[in-house]
Amino acid sequence: MDWKAFEQFAEKIRVVEEIPGMAIGAARNGEHLFVSGFGTIEAGGEANITPDTVFGTASVTKSFTALAIHILAAEGKLSLTDQAVQYLPEAESVPIIRAAEIRHLLSHTTGMPPVRRREEIEGFVVHIRYLENLDLKPIGEPGERISYSNDAFLLLGAIIEQVSGINYREFIMERIVQPAGMKRTTFTPPGQGVHSNTAVQYTEKLLPVNWPSLGNYAVGGGIRSTVNDLLVYGRLYTDRAFRESVIGNVDTAGMQERVAMVDENTFYGHGLMVTPDFGGADLVHHGGGQPGVSSSFGFLPEKGITVAVLTNRTGVPAETLMKGAIYTALGRSPEESMAPLPEIPVSSDELKTFTGHYRNDEDPDGFRIDANDRGLVMLTDGRTDHLRPVAPAQFQNARTGKLVRFEVESHGEDAMAFTGLRVYWKEAGNKE
């Protein structure tokens, strides 16, 4: 394992992406293979990031919530095939939730489209009332299609409270975080800065930003943690003896079921994604993004390897760093994580059919797709990324490695794009 080469790989990405600070760690069943901080707690500062520096984890939190549901299932307190409204009768008035089972909430396959975030809402019942008053057009029947939905996922927090009889956050802390020995993991946002060894968060434009309020969305994105703590957390999935000592006989393999195809190489399970045959082993992982946060957490259950990456800037390729560390732990080059998919030829006329502005209610600014001499480009919040054609109607972001898939209706116009696990609709009138 050439961790010196990985350090150079990671530092190069940090400099190119202008990431003020990041922490990266890799372990095998509790034994550290590599842990290090890169950069500083605040941009231009002198205090270095350490593996114990607190960052936001964003949607890595979803795996904690999914694990909590699986704990309750192992205790016989619920079944994953139970309808959500069995525990949330208030949601009976939300048609899109009425037929959904708990497993559909876990896998983002309820059929709920992206909706406008309402972080100011406190309380799950009030949030259900919000959903009730929306004119929601399903993107499919439950289980038919994936589109990432924080608003559907947060209902799992309400189910946890209903079944366990305690507050969602208390359940996560008392049943997972504290017994595992995760010392700096919390839902309570610590003050940012050197005094608390907490990374200052920065937007894509490198402006400092406060912690988001989140409200009920804490169920899917509220945990703040450290790389050292996330390496401990990974043992719950890779080390059976440790898992049983902390949470009992829980089937974490059930969280890694290949439920919904994200792309040709990756599937969504329950609060976790699975990429089969990644360097010869299944990679289970999840990333996260919030204002000031880009994170990635992954493990190889067959090999006992866990990797955690935490950064303090929005929109940077934390997943590339995670995969580079996984490759390094497997004795391979971290550069393999950046290997592009082979391109396919696409005519300029076909490229033009994909151009336009794509939005959804959760992300009203969305992104724009334009065509130039090099092909397609994606414009998002001041960034311009080249998109490489890798399959029919599918492109790879040359900077992040993420895929964008377009779905075209029979009359030849783009109906939608799928990226970042979400459905985006093409804005009417953009028919270049």
Q: What's the pLDDT score for residue 413?
A: 46
Mean pLDDT of the chain: 94
**pLDDT single digits (tens) 52-77:** 999 999 999 999 999 999 999 999 99
Residue 252 pLDDT level (bands cut at 50, 70, 90): very high
Residue-level pLDDT at 400: 83
Q: What is the pLDDT of residues 260-292, one digit of tens each?
A: 999 878 999 999 999 999 988 999 999 999 999
pTM of the model: 0.93
pLDDT tens sequence across 383-410:
899 999 999 999 999 888 889 999 876 4
Amino acid at 20: P
Q: State the pLDDT confidence band at 344, using cuts at 50, 70 and 90.
A: very high
Task: State yes or no: pLDDT of 339 exceeds 90.
Answer: no
Q: 3-state secondary structure string, the chain?
A: CCHHHHHHHHHHHHHHCCCCEEEEEEEECCEEEEEEEEEECCCCCCCECCCCCEEECHHHHHHHHHHHHHHHHHCCCCCCCCEHHHCCHHHHHCHHHHCCEHHHHHHCCCCCCCCCCCCCCCCHHHHHHHHHCCCCCCCCCCCCCCCCCHHHHCHHHHHHHHHHCCCHHHHHHHHHHHHHCCCCCECCCCCCEHHHCECCEECCCCCEECCCCCHHHHHHHCCEECHHHHHHHHHHHHCHHHHHHHHCCCCHHHHHCCCEEEECCEEECCCCEEEEEECCEEEEEEEEEECCEEEEEEEECCCCEEEEEEECECCCCHHHHHHHHHHHHCCCCHHHHHCCCCCCCCCHHHHHCCCEEEECCCCCCCEEEEEECCEEEEEECCEEEEEEEEECCEEEECCCCCEEEEEECCCCCEEEEEECCEEEEECCCCCC
Which of 250-254, 338-342, 350-354 is modeled with the greatest confidence?
250-254
Least confident of 178-187, 235-244, 372-381: 372-381
Q: Hey, CA dihedral for 26, 32, 38, 41, is it positive or negative?
A: positive
- pLDDT tens-place string over residues 27-45: 999 999 999 999 999 999 9
pLDDT for 414 equals 46
Average pLDDT of 169-198?
A: 97
